[in-house]
Copies of this chain bind each other. A is one copy, B any other.
Amino acid sequence: MRILHTADWHLGKIVNGVHMTDDQAFILDEILQIIDSYQPDIMIIAGDLYDRSIPPKEAVELLSKVITNITVEKRLPLFAISGNHDSPDRLGFGTALFRSQELYMATKIEEALSPIALNEVDGKVEVYLIPYLEPSEVRQYFDDENIKTHQTAMEKIVETIHETKDKNARQIVVAHTFLAGGMETDSEDRLTMIGGTPYVNASIFEEFHYIALGHLHQPQKITQDYIRYSGSILKYSFSEANHQKSVAIVDIDKAGKCEIEKVPLKPIRDMRKIEGYFHDFLDGTTLKPTEDYLHIGLLDDGQLINPIGKLREYYPNILRLERVVKNKDQQTQDINMIRKKQKMSHLQLFQAFYEEMKGDTIPPKRNTYIEKVIDKLHQEERRK
């Protein structure tokens, strides 16, 4: 049985003020061609189909067109879940109606626990679709006060699946979550940190046959070859400049063993960082004229007149232009401090703020209170 695994489409994404819709339409067209070449038996999209709860109408139109092509024209069964960027209610519209066309879209916890059974020529396969869920939703559903973190929430779900699964079948699990050890970029949004960590241990998934993951934008396996992030379809920040984006083609044999091929995606416009001197850019020594999305670092020391205007004649899609000043200790320190803060959770940021204001660490009671407030705000934001 052959699977095409992709994730993190982020339709409607705006990067540095630029709408990525054309780039997304181009790359999705490439995925349609990969379907034709590789002829998978099913396709998986592991969450974050949209970039936000209320996507722009162009994104809605594009998703509608692509999934219609896949399911109605190509007749390829499609399995998808909502990610932390999607609105479960909006993405969940009419999903019961989609099932007859073999489009299985899961956005609620109930749907995570009842698998879709596939009767393949080499035996039965069960697909479990676990959408992104807040720990509090899982706690409420199971009425279990011990569920406080993403780890305990996922443990409970996995445990329930193991109790009810068909032991003679192979299991494919689709999830949108942050596995410990995974490599992050600047474009995954922070997950809730209630309990102190957004991570889930990969080990809890080891007894399934393939785990199709979404959330992290870099294609990567975590601990096992069959526990895998397909990565996003495009580079969505300059921290992803060195990625090679791809989809995963997974062949599962009768015993449940997987062979995996990463099929590279070639964007219409690449996203990259490049440094050099102003005049070497202008005469094309450093870089030939290109429509790629660029983060240009200028090494020049002296004054430059209208550098962005002049560079745009050759490189129309410069998204960032910086003067690179080497060996300035204070600057480096400042940047390091900002980088450190960018990696802090909302709770950690508040703790640091409290310390700076009050000259003392936050007492446990207040800490618990602010933890709850952050959780509440986070959920409200997501539930829009």
Contacts and interface: CB of A to CB of B under 8 A. Distances in A.
Copy total for this chain: 2
A368 B298 CA distance: 52
A96 interface: yes
Nearest to A97: B101
Interface of A: 54, 57-58, 60-61, 63-64, 67-68, 71-72, 87, 89-90, 92-98, 100-101, 103, 383-384
A58 B89 CA distance: 8
B54 A93 contact: no
A97 B67 contact: yes
Contacts of A63: 93
Would you call the interface of chain A mostly helix, strand, loop, or mixed? helix
Given A57-B383, A98-B98, 11 more contacts: A57-B87, A57-B89, A57-B90, A57-B384, A60-B89, A60-B93, A63-B93, A64-B94, A72-B96, A72-B97, A94-B98
Contact of A54 (B54, B67, B72, B89): B54
Contact of A97 (B58, B68, B384): B68
Nearest to A384: B57
Nearest to A59: B89
Nearest to A64: B93
Nearest to A96: B68
Contacts of A94: 64, 67-68, 93-94, 98, 103
